[in-house]
């Protein structure tokens, strides 16, 4: 490694552990880690760019090599040392070169810094401090995060955590890879012109933004959607960056998706799993997008027997004990989704919510919802559910979340003749007395004792018949969660996508079940929808659905950047999907994602009933 990009330091390293006459850029070098770790440097000079609670940052003389940062963190917790310098001071100092990673963050990258600074001398004051203006001086790449994400699914590839940046310590390729780009500015003062917020602030008031530079995946609200890039690999949106706590103690504003902020100048650091810009001072809100959420254009028809409108909504731990929550979801379904004929619901809690008291039935939760919808719109839904075994399906302890359907009984009913399944009954495809296909338990759960469903929600399958006799089959699913996954900008590459192996086998179980229907009737009308907790760009997880089920967005030709139902970190992303069988696909499908929750303004974020956006589709059964 030294012989390739750091040959000149070899002599220094061998000669002594005390080095003189070096520059900040020598310390940073062109790779992730410093070539001079452990060395004590003397007479290091630079201009102070910013001060923080744990030291200050300097900028040294720049070099033409864009892989090499000329910014550096000078770490000290000694306030008297910090008090000796001010931004604009030309200083010289000595100290030890270190790669710092905070305790308890083994998946973080290290920060190059000088610790134990000493001999601080201020040569002059009020020198010009010139930030790098991103978008003018340097621009981030827009597709990939790391050269180590080598699989076909890029940052979403499996196996995950197959290599580590810290171990490889490759020479940076800042024009190609986002993590390399931000690393090449580590410790440097940068300006983000015209930042636009990509999400609500997190619980620490930190906000993801893009700036005035080229981006890909831009959606109509101003967010960055996970899409497939031109190279056919998932686009990880490396051109976004998170704005941390302002260095002067001011507070970031309550931004939300699409909000325009004043220019941000701050220092690039790595902490809490991501490259951050720590602003000198909090930005202010300059522009806000229109607060209105469009209502769906997909309308239910009582007279068209062939056409069905299908809603899908993860209602986030709904309990009858929170009328505000129930009424909020009811208003969404009645007003913004315009009462679809059937709604696939996920995260319906039992009648006593998260109280861990052995209650599993959720009929009060569902009747509270359907009553609330009726009082808003006059539409009366019936509901069906299968209660899980107490605390066996994951989610909030005691809550017993399950999937359920609400549906318009005057338009269609469950195919009669077979019993409702219990929590451990496995439903199968059978013929009824008329020779038509139905399920042995209707509704019933799919293979509920299979290992794929351990500690996770079992899919709810149902066979339906319209008043004029057309049959269709539905599977409502809620796959195991991603929680505990590694940050997208962490050390492990590709990032650890927790539960992806379980989600993959869950999708395989559903695929096998759907195939048993299609074996009996290749033209069966089948809708599989719900919260998959996975993006279709994680193609390895969806392989088993290939040529069996087709995603509504794909059939409808929805612009890929508008395919999102969730905001997480920098990304607008789609966790919720509606898939249909070939027969339905052949008649055309329409679908819309209604951003009732993720377009919420900052005033309403805490009051929004769910963090998922619902979807509405129109399908034709005949």
Ligand X SMILES: *[C@@H]1O[C@H](CO)[C@@H](O)[C@H](O)[C@H]1NC(C)=O
Give the separation between CA 410 and CA 417, rounded to whole angstroms.
19
**446, 403 contact by CB (below 8 A):** no
Question: Taking CB under 6 A as the criterion, which residues in 60-89 touch ligand X?
Answer: none
Tell me, what DSSP letter sits at residue 525?
Answer: -
Tell me, what DSSP letter sits at residue 336?
Answer: I
Q: Is 560 helix (H, G, I), strand (E, B) or coil?
A: helix
Judged by beta carbon, residue 226 or residue 500, the one nearer ligand X is 500
The helix or strand, by DSSP H or E, that contains position 485, with its residue range, turns out to be: none
Judged by beta carbon, residue 158 or residue 228, the one nearer ligand X is 158
Question: Taking CB under 6 A as the criterion, which residues in 18-47 touch ligand X?
Answer: 42-43
Tokens (6 digits) for 315: 């209602």
Judged by beta carbon, residue 292 or residue 547, the one nearer ligand X is 292
Smallest distance from ligand X to CB 251, Å? 18
Give the separation between CA 124 and CA 157, rounded to whole angstroms.
52
Alpha carbon 158 to chain centroid, angstroms: 17
Burial call 311-347: b when 16+ CB within 10 Å, e when fewer: bbbbbbbbbbbbeebbbbbbbbbbbbbbbbbbbbbbb
Smallest distance from ligand X to CB 321, Å? 15
Among 53, 159, 409, 588, binds ligand X (CB under 6 A): 159
Smallest distance from ligand X to CB 157, Å? 9
Judged by beta carbon, residue 159 or residue 358, the one nearer ligand X is 159
**Which region among 155-163, 189-197, 261-269, 445-453 touches ligand X (by CB under 6 A)?**
155-163
**180, 173 contact by CB (below 8 A):** yes
**Which region among 306-314, 325-333, 360-368, 426-434 touches ligand X (by CB under 6 A)?**
360-368
Judged by beta carbon, residue 407 or residue 473, the one nearer ligand X is 407
Give the separation between CA 31 and CA 596, rounded to whole angstroms.
44
How crowded is the C-beta side of 33, counted as CA atoms within 13 Å? 21
Smallest distance from ligand X to CB 156, Å? 11
Judged by beta carbon, residue 142 or residue 538, the one nearer ligand X is 538
Give the separation between CA 330 and CA 101, rounded to whole angstroms.
47
Judged by beta carbon, residue 407 or residue 472, the one nearer ligand X is 407
Residue 371 sits in the site that holds ligand X (CB under 6 A):
no
Number of residues near ligand X (by CB under 6 A): 24
Measuring CA to CA, how many Å separate 315 from each of 199, 321, 401, 578, 607? 19, 14, 10, 16, 13
**Which region among 125-133, 152-160, 202-210, 293-301 touches ligand X (by CB under 6 A)?**
152-160
State residue 177 phi and psi, 5-degree precision.
-125, 130
Q: Which of 269, 265, 270 is nearest to 282 (CA)?
A: 265
Among 330, 492, 518, 578, binds ligand X (CB under 6 A): 492
Gap between the terminal Cα atoms of the chain: 66
Among 216, 299, 601, 611, binds ligand X (CB under 6 A): 601
Smallest distance from ligand X to CB 291, Å? 4
**Which region among 63-71, 159-167, 183-191, 314-322 touches ligand X (by CB under 6 A)?**
159-167
Greatest Cα pair distance in the chain: 95
**504, 541 contact by CB (below 8 A):** yes
Write the interaction track for ligand X spanning residues 259-298; mark x where CB under 6 A is met and - where it is not.
-----------------------------x--x-------
Alpha carbon 605 to chain centroid, angstroms: 17
The 10 Å Cβ neighbour count of residue 48 is 24
Question: Taking CB under 6 A as the criterion, which residues in 97-136 touch ligand X?
Answer: 106-107, 119, 121
Contacts of 41 (CB under 8 A, 6+ apart): 18, 19, 20, 22, 27, 94, 95, 96, 97, 114
Judged by beta carbon, residue 486 or residue 545, the one nearer ligand X is 486
Is residue 230 packed enough to be buried (19+ CB in 10 Å), middle (13-18) or exposed (0-12)?
A: exposed
Judged by beta carbon, residue 541 or residue 621, the one nearer ligand X is 541
Residue 158 sits in the site that holds ligand X (CB under 6 A):
yes
Residue 138 sits in the site that holds ligand X (CB under 6 A):
no
Among 247, 373, 500, 594, binds ligand X (CB under 6 A): 500
Smallest distance from ligand X to CB 448, Å? 21
Among 486, 518, 552, 584, binds ligand X (CB under 6 A): 486
Judged by beta carbon, residue 486 or residue 617, the one nearer ligand X is 486
Q: Which of 53, 202, 195, 44 is nearest to 114 (CA)?
A: 44
Smallest distance from ligand X to CB 557, Å? 31
**Which region among 32-40, 157-165, 168-176, 239-247 touches ligand X (by CB under 6 A)?**
157-165
Smallest distance from ligand X to CB 191, Å? 27
At residue 561's C-alpha, the angle toward residues 557 and 566, to 5°, is 110
Smallest distance from ligand X to CB 97, Å? 16
Smallest distance from ligand X to CB 303, Å? 30
Give the separation between CA 113 and CA 94, rounded to whole angstroms.
12
Residue 536 sits in the site that holds ligand X (CB under 6 A):
no
Judged by beta carbon, residue 209 or residue 496, the one nearer ligand X is 496
State residue 405 phi and psi, 5-degree precision.
-115, 140
Residue 571 sits in the site that holds ligand X (CB under 6 A):
no
Residues in the site for ligand X, rule: CB under 6 A?
A: 42-43, 106-107, 119, 121, 158-161, 288, 291, 361, 363-364, 367, 486, 492, 496, 500-501, 601, 603-604
């Amino acid at each position: 490694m030294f012989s390739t990009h750091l040959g000149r330091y070899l002599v220094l390293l061998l000669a002594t552990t005390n080095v003189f006459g070096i520059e900040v850029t020598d310390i940073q070098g062109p790779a992730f880690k410093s070539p001079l770790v452990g060395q004590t440097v003397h007479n290091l000079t630079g201009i102070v760019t910013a001060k923080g609670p744990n030291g200050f940052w300097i900028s040294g003389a720049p070099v033409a090599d864009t892989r090499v940062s000329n910014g550096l963190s000078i770490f000290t917790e000694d306030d008297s040392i910090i008090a000796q310098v001010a931004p604009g001071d030309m200083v010289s100092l000595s100290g030890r070169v270190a790669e710092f990673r905070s305790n308890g963050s083994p998946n973080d990258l290290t920060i190059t810094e000088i610790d134990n600074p000493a001999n601080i001398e201020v040569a002059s004051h009020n020198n010009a401090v010139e930030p790098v203006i991103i978008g003018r001086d340097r621009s981030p790449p827009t597709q990939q995060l790391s050269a180590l994400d080598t699989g076909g699914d890029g940052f979403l590839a499996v196996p995950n955590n197959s290599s580590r940046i810290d171990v490889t310590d490759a020479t940076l390729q800042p024009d190609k890879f986002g993590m390399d780009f931000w690393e090449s500015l580590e410790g440097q003062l940068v300006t983000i012109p015209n930042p636009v917020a990509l999400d609500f602030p997190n619980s620490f008031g930190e906000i993801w933004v893009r700036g005035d530079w080229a981006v890909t995946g831009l959606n109509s609200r101003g967010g960055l959607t996970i899409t497939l890039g031109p190279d056919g690999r998932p686009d990880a949106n490396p051109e976004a960056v998170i704005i941390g706590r302002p260095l002067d103690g001011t507070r970031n504003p309550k931004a939300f998706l699409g909000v325009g902020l004043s220019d941000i100048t701050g220092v690039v650091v790595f902490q809490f799993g991501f490259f951050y810009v720590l602003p000198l001072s909090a930005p202010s809100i300059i522009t806000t997008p229109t607060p209105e959420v469009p209502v769906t254009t997909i309308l239910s028809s009582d007279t068209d027997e062939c056409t069905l409108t299908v809603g899908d909504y993860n209602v986030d731990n709904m309990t009858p004990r929170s009328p505000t929550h129930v009424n909020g979801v009811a208003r969404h379904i009645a007003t913004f989704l315009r009462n679809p004929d059937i709604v696939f619901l996920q995260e319906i809690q039992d009648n006593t919510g998260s109280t861990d008291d052995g209650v599993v039935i959720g009929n009060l939760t569902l009747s509270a919802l359907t009553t609330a919808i009726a009082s808003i719109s006059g539409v009366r839904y019936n509901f069906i559910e299968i209660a899980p075994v107490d605390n066996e399906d994951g989610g909030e302890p005691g809550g017993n979340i399950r999937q359920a359907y609400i549906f318009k009984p005057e338009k269609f009913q469950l195919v009669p003749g077979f019993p409702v399944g219990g929590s451990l009954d496995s439903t199968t495809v059978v013929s009824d007395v008329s020779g038509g296909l139905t399920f042995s338990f209707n509704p019933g759960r799919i293979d509920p004792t299979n290992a794929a469903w351990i500690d996770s929600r079992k899919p709810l399958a149902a066979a339906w018949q319209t008043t004029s006799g057309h049959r269709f089959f539905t599977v409502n699913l809620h796959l195991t969660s991603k929680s505990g996954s590694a940050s997208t900008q962490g050390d492990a590459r590709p990032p650890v996508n927790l539960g992806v192996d379980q989600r993959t086998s869950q999708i395989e179980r559903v695929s096998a079940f759907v195939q048993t229907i299609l074996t009996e009737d290749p033209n069966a009308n089948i809708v599989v929808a719900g919260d998959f907790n996975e993006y279709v760009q994680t193609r390895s997880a969806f392989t088993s659905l290939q040529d069996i089920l087709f995603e509504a967005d794909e059939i409808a030709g929805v612009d890929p950047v508008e395919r999102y139902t969730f905001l997480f970190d920098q990304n607008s992303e789609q966790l919720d999907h509606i898939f249909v069988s070939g027969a339905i696909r052949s008649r055309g499908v329409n679908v819309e994602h209604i951003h009732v929750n993720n377009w919420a303004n900052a005033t309403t974020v805490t009051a929004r009933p769910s963090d998922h956006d619902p979807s509405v589709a129109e399908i034709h059964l005949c």
